[in-house]
A and B are shown apart, each in its own frame.
Chain A
């Protein structure tokens, strides 16, 4: 393995990690505020991928079709998420966690079938958008420029979310509710509204992840479950409900995956799980989580 090869492998790992961060952070945010483990988060991500494909093929004649869908597809998913929250989730906040799992799992199946009905079972491709459709070179080794763009998207969203939570009124309320829900309720926050907004934000993030991932892979049935498992690994590693934990967890996951493929490819599929087990043994509450 040459030094250049190593650099490229590291970049690959970071770009994998940053995409997963975009998705995992939404799951973590929704859990932190609503106290619901939304199993349908992966399905929302898949929906984003299909919407991106759909929008960019409908408006393919316009220049920058992908950039338009990057703007529109996550918003579409956020609106769908808002409807789900208002019509379904709102009814079960006080129920057993089991009921919540059943409902969100039912949503996985429903969204999966809706996507199949609307877009079929084939793989749908969206080409990497101009000007990111070719490789750029690091020390003479090519690396897709679109993946470099993905690497920047992760920190950008991280900073955006951090600023939102740190400096805005909504962020203050979210922090208060994460910290002590009963007290926040008692102080007269409009809880239903905050819940809807946070769930829409989580859905928007899932949709954004789906949209951003399509140019590197394809929209296909089954992508929802793959990502959901990876998201679970990340929130376990990083700590449930922690923003910086999701970031760190994703970065570690991406790098471990890339080095796993480099060093012991036969075991590559297991590296994420091994990472999770190690963290669970050393710090059961996650790297950035708080011990209860």
Chain B
């Protein structure tokens, strides 16, 4: 009798142990590495994290990936490449993540990209824009699921030529790599469309400039046909403020890629806003007619209390990985990368493809005049134009030539 009891107990115990993996499958882990503190964190990192949480939640409620739950491990890169690498190492070596996604600073993205190449773990950029990371410095383990500086400047040049077509261009931008590169790229594209165009003046204020009065008065008396501006973040806000007091937007045609989305204008009122500026957006959900988008943005708004913007790239990335892992039916990194190359995606902005040659998704970029309308509580782009994707990005042959030169 006693023996039977013991045997039954042991058998039950063994049965229970054996059944554990079935009931609680080992989670698939991934690293979310983004700027989560400071002003940049507020505007880019935190919304992205909220969007990714929604994706993870949706996937886990629907049974996970290959029956395994998905687990996000979030880390703050603090906008610092060294710190980012430290976190990436920890994520890969100690947590064995299947992939890393995120980053907003191109310098951080570049550093993480180099480390992921060495560690042979996929890194998917969801915010950082410098084209170089996927072009001349691209490799097998880096992907990008957002726009890059090529689209930014080409789409803007295309829209400026369509809407205005002026010949005298005035340049203003932050005095570092991004501002100067934006100017060169914009002029290269614009002069293809308006060959006689030339620069009549340039201004290079420092990032986070406070007093815009002398800059604005100079632009207003320059006699330029329009202004191309690569200011971003807080500078968009303080410039707009100072320019509004001048009546600038009634007199000057002004365009810039960072002047149209929720990131720059989401907190701006209706009394002061960049009226009539040609601005850009990665995800103008208010004009996108697509069931995935229509399901996504109200959900994001409800969950986070924020408006949807470029953070949608983080959300989409999680689904891309799900799709790739399910396609190869394994959590094998090399196989997953092969599956991602050339993969067709159904996204919030429609059907997209991850290009095999450089792992860049040909994400569209909308450019249109900024206005206040009754349907949104913040100023936003209206009547946008969209540049054909093949023209908005560098071609595979161009990129290959760039890589050889390096």
Cβ–Cβ contact A218 & B39, under 8 A: no
Complex CA gap A16/B242 in Å reads: 12
A interface SS class: helix
Chain A: which residue is nearest B216 at the CB level? A12
**Closest CB of chain B to A78's CB: distance in Å?**
23
- Indicate whether A217 sits within 8 Å of B217 (C-beta atoms), given known contacts A123-B237, A125-B237: no
Cβ–Cβ contact B217 & A218, under 8 A: no
Greatest chain B CB density within 10 A among A11, A12, A133 is at A12
- Indicate whether A226 sits within 8 Å of B210 (C-beta atoms), given known contacts A143-B217, A218-B241: yes
The answer, among B202, B220, B234, B245, for a CB contact under 8 Å with A128, is B245
Cβ–Cβ contact B205 & A268, under 8 A: yes
Chain B: which residue is nearest A15 at the CB level? B213
Complex CA gap A143/B243 in Å reads: 10
- Indicate whether A265 sits within 8 Å of B237 (C-beta atoms), given known contacts A216-B242, A217-B210: no
In which size bucket is the chain B interface?
35 or more
Cβ–Cβ contact A135 & B245, under 8 A: yes
**Closest CB of chain B to A275's CB: distance in Å?**
15
- Indicate whether A9 sits within 8 Å of B217 (C-beta atoms), given known contacts A120-B42, A144-B246, A223-B210: yes
Which residues of A are found within 8 Å of B248, using beta-carbon distances? 142
Which residues of B are found within 8 Å of A171, using beta-carbon distances? none
Complex CA gap A176/B218 in Å reads: 46
Whether A58 is near chain B, meaning CB under 8 Å from some CB there, is no
Which residues of A are found within 8 Å of B206, using beta-carbon distances? 269
Cβ–Cβ contact A127 & B271, under 8 A: yes
Cβ–Cβ contact B267 & A216, under 8 A: no
Chain B: which residue is nearest A135 at the CB level? B247
- Indicate whether A261 sits within 8 Å of B234 (C-beta atoms), given known contacts A128-B245, A134-B245: no
Complex CA gap A176/B65 in Å reads: 81
Chain A: which residue is nearest B233 at the CB level? A123
Cβ–Cβ contact B221 & A216, under 8 A: no
Complex CA gap A4/B218 in Å reads: 11
Which residues of A are found within 8 Å of B242, using beta-carbon distances? 144, 216-217
Cβ–Cβ contact B271 & A266, under 8 A: no
Which residues of B are found within 8 Å of A15, using beta-carbon distances? 213
Interface flags, A1-38, vs B, CB<8A=1, else 0 = 11011101101110110010000000000000000000
Complex CA gap A266/B234 in Å reads: 21
Greatest chain B CB density within 10 A among A125, A128, A147 is at A125
Whether B178 is near chain A, meaning CB under 8 Å from some CB there, is no
Chain A: which residue is nearest B271 at the CB level? A127
Whether A262 is near chain B, meaning CB under 8 Å from some CB there, is yes
Cβ–Cβ contact B234 & A125, under 8 A: no
Complex CA gap A1/B211 in Å reads: 21
Cβ–Cβ contact A125 & B210, under 8 A: no
Complex CA gap A25/B237 in Å reads: 29
Q: How many of A's residues come within 8 Å of B, CB to CB?
A: 48
Complex CA gap A11/B214 in Å reads: 9
Cβ–Cβ contact A134 & B204, under 8 A: no
Complex CA gap A220/B175 in Å reads: 20
Cβ–Cβ contact A216 & B203, under 8 A: no
**Which residues B5-38 have CB closer than 8 A to chain A?**
38
Cβ–Cβ contact B204 & A218, under 8 A: no
Complex CA gap A227/B268 in Å reads: 25
Cβ–Cβ contact B245 & A216, under 8 A: yes
Complex CA gap A193/B310 in Å reads: 56
Whether B302 is near chain A, meaning CB under 8 Å from some CB there, is no
Whether B269 is near chain A, meaning CB under 8 Å from some CB there, is yes
**Closest CB of chain B to A213's CB: distance in Å?**
7
**Closest CB of chain B to A43's CB: distance in Å?**
15
- Indicate whether A9 sits within 8 Å of B214 (C-beta atoms), given known contacts A135-B246, A142-B246: yes
Cβ–Cβ contact A269 & B175, under 8 A: yes
Cβ–Cβ contact A12 & B210, under 8 A: no
Complex CA gap A234/B38 in Å reads: 31
Whether B353 is near chain A, meaning CB under 8 Å from some CB there, is no
Whether B406 is near chain A, meaning CB under 8 Å from some CB there, is no
Which residues of A are found within 8 Å of B203, using beta-carbon distances? 261, 265, 268
- Indicate whether A8 sits within 8 Å of B220 (C-beta atoms), given known contacts A217-B241, A261-B214: yes
The answer, among B208, B214, B246, B247, for a CB contact under 8 Å with A16, is B214
Cβ–Cβ contact B42 & A134, under 8 A: no
Which residues of A are found within 8 Å of B39, using beta-carbon distances? 121-123, 221
Complex CA gap A133/B246 in Å reads: 9
Whether B238 is near chain A, meaning CB under 8 Å from some CB there, is yes
Cβ–Cβ contact A9 & B234, under 8 A: no
Greatest chain A CB density within 10 A among B238, B267, B269 is at B238
**Closest CB of chain B to A47's CB: distance in Å?**
16
Chain B: which residue is nearest A5 at the CB level? B221
The answer, among A6, A122, A142, A147, for a CB contact under 8 Å with B42, is A122
**Closest CB of chain A to B79's CB: distance in Å?**
12
Cβ–Cβ contact A144 & B221, under 8 A: no
- Indicate whether A125 sits within 8 Å of B213 (C-beta atoms), given known contacts A141-B221, A268-B205: no
Q: List 25 A-B contacts (CB under 8 A).
A: A9-B217, A16-B213, A121-B38, A122-B42, A123-B238, A123-B267, A125-B237, A125-B268, A125-B269, A127-B271, A134-B247, A135-B247, A141-B221, A142-B220, A142-B248, A143-B246, A217-B211, A217-B238, A218-B234, A220-B238, A222-B208, A257-B214, A265-B203, A266-B204, A268-B203
Please give the residue numbers on chain A whose beta carbons come within 8 Å of chain B beta carbons, in ascending order: 1-2, 4-6, 8-9, 11-13, 15-16, 19, 120-123, 125, 127-128, 133-135, 141-147, 213, 216-218, 220-223, 226-227, 257-258, 261-262, 265-266, 268-269
Having A217-B241, A261-B215, one finds 17 other A-B pairs with CB under 8 Å, namely: A5-B218, A5-B222, A8-B221, A9-B214, A12-B217, A123-B237, A123-B267, A127-B272, A128-B245, A134-B245, A142-B246, A143-B217, A145-B245, A216-B212, A217-B210, A265-B201, A268-B203
Please give the residue numbers on chain B whose beta carbons come within 8 Å of chain A beta carbons, in ascending order: 38-39, 42, 175, 201-206, 208, 210-218, 220-222, 234, 237-238, 241-242, 245-248, 251, 267-269, 271-272
